[in-house]
């Protein structure tokens, strides 16, 4: 569902005033809830090169994102959830809109769409939902799957105690989004997660599979929207993660690693030359360390991440759009890169924080066709975030 520019402005305004009013919008029975978040972002990109060797123009811009939702819980175990967000109709990866471009570039679309609408049943250790929602998948970053990507379908999570910890099974079946108003391809996911706090150290282990089967036809919306032939290519991506949480430091400390492998059987004889050429570029990993938090006023955190993600290691139309500027104005091709992120954040109180992030990336040094060169990029962001 698409809304007008007037609705876009109204949603941004509501995201600013609702934190004060949210408590008053819950009825006496406590069954109606308003929630949301807002973000003001300054972003600068520089020293970025395209595959043809030409330099992208440096860019500085001011962006905003607003999301507003309602939950109706008529009985204890049943709820209905609807959320609207800003963004562009053609972009399933981001809810941001540009309100000022300091280099005179086109600011792009300013739309509002429903990105969540689902019914959920929570019964003891089981949770089941149907509609449009985030996939049930434990993760410690968005380099494999972007939180903004919300497919249509059904999902479940079930947990049980095991060996002093908790074992959770997540699964779902979906229609995948192409933009925010169209769908393409079928998918399913299955994941096991084990979490335990063992005194001096806590840890989480996970492993799972996301299977995506393409069904686009030449010339349809998905084939024109998703880049690098993603609308026509199947994916079978395994992901394994480990997160360690040592408890002997003054502040919260997380150390994590993810490994991704696309087990789809691509061939040198594939009719798509792009797929055939990159058939072996199917692995990726991420390592990270974060110290501190931004939960309370005056709290701070520092973090560092290193990523190495080959071109077909993930479905890059559904991964994060933070690290690179590559792609089009509405679609980011966020794979085939290696590089680092450095992060600093501070809590401001009132459920608000400020996060600064520096990204330094370049395309992976693999053999390339003679008419292509390795992309590069540098990006700096400062986000003011608040939620309710």
Does residue 106 sit within a domain?
Answer: no
Give the predicted TM-score (pTM) of the model.
0.90
| 54: containing domain | 33-61+136-387
Q: pLDDT tens track of the chain, all 388 residues?
A: 545 444 445 454 444 444 333 333 444 446 899 999 999 999 999 998 888 778 889 999 999 999 999 999 999 899 999 999 999 999 999 999 999 999 988 888 889 999 999 999 999 999 999 999 999 999 999 999 999 999 999 999 999 999 999 999 999 999 999 999 999 999 999 999 999 998 899 999 999 999 999 999 999 999 999 999 999 999 999 999 999 999 999 999 999 999 999 999 999 999 899 999 999 999 999 999 999 999 999 999 999 999 999 999 999 999 999 999 999 989 999 999 999 999 999 999 999 999 999 999 999 976 665 555 678 899 999 999 999 9
CATH (domain of 308) = 2.40.160
Answer whether 377's CB lies under 8 Å from 341's CB: no
74 within domain boundaries: no
112 falls within a domain: no
Residues 41, 65: contact at Cβ < 8 Å? yes
Query: Does 68 reside within a domain?
Result: no
**Is 80 a member of any domain?**
no
> Is 185 a domain residue?
yes
Helix (H) or strand (E) holding 45: strand 32-49
User: Helix, strand or coil for residue 19?
Assistant: helix
Look at residue 7 and tell me if it is in a domain: no
Task: Quote the number of domains for the chain.
Answer: 1
Residue 49 lies in a domain: yes
For every residue of 229-257, DSSP letters joined together read TTTT--EEEEEEEEEEEESSSSS-EEEEE
Q: Provide the CA 230 distance to its chain's centre, in angstroms.
A: 17
């Amino acid at each position: 569902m698409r809304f007008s520019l007037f609705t876009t402005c109204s949603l941004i305004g509501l995201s600013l005033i609702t934190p004060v009013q949210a408590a008053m919008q819950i009825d006496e029975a406590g069954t109606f809830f308003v929630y949301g978040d807002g973000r003001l972002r300054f972003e600068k990109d520089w020293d970025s090169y395209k595959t043809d060797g030409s330099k992208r123009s440096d860019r500085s811009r001011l962006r905003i994102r607003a999301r507003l939702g309602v939950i109706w819980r008529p009985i204890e175990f049943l709820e209905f959830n609807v959320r609207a967000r800003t963004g562009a109709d053609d972009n399933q990866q981001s809810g941001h809109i540009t309100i000022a471009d300091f280099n005179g570039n086109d600011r792009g679309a300013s739309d509002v769409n429903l990105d969540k609408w689902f019914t959920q049943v929570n019964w003891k250790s089981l949770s089941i939902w149907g509609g449009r929602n985030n996939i049930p998948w434990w993760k410690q970053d968005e380099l494999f799957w972007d939180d903004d990507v919300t497919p249509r379908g059904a999902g479940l999570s079930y947990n049980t105690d095991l060996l002093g910890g908790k074992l959770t099974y997540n699964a779902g079946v979906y229609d995948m989004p192409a933009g925010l108003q169209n769908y393409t391809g079928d998918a399913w996911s299955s994941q096991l997660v084990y979490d335990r706090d063992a005194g001096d150290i806590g840890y989480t282990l996970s492993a799972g599979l996301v299977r995506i089967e393409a069904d686009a036809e030449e010339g349809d919306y998905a084939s024109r929207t998703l880049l690098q032939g993603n609308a026509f290519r199947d994916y079978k991506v395994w992901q394994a993660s480990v997160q360690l949480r040592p408890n002997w430091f003054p502040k919260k400390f997380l150390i994590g690693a993810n490994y991704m492998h696309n087990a789809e059987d691509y061939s040198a004889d594939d009719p798509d030359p792009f797929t055939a050429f990159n058939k072996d570029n199917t692995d990726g990993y991420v390592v990270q360390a974060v110290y501190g938090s931004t939960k309370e006023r005056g709290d701070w955190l520092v973090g560092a991440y290193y990523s190495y993600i080959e071109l077909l290691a993930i479905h890059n139309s559904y991964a994060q759009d933070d690290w690179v500027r590559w792609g089009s104005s509405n679609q980011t091709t966020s794979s085939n890169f290696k590089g680092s992120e450095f992060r600093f954040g501070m809590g401001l109180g009132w459920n608000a924080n400020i996060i600064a992030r520096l990204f330094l990336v370049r395309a992976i040094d693999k053999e390339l066709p003679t008419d292509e060169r390795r992309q590069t990029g540098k990006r700096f962001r400062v986000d003011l975030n608040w939620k309710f």
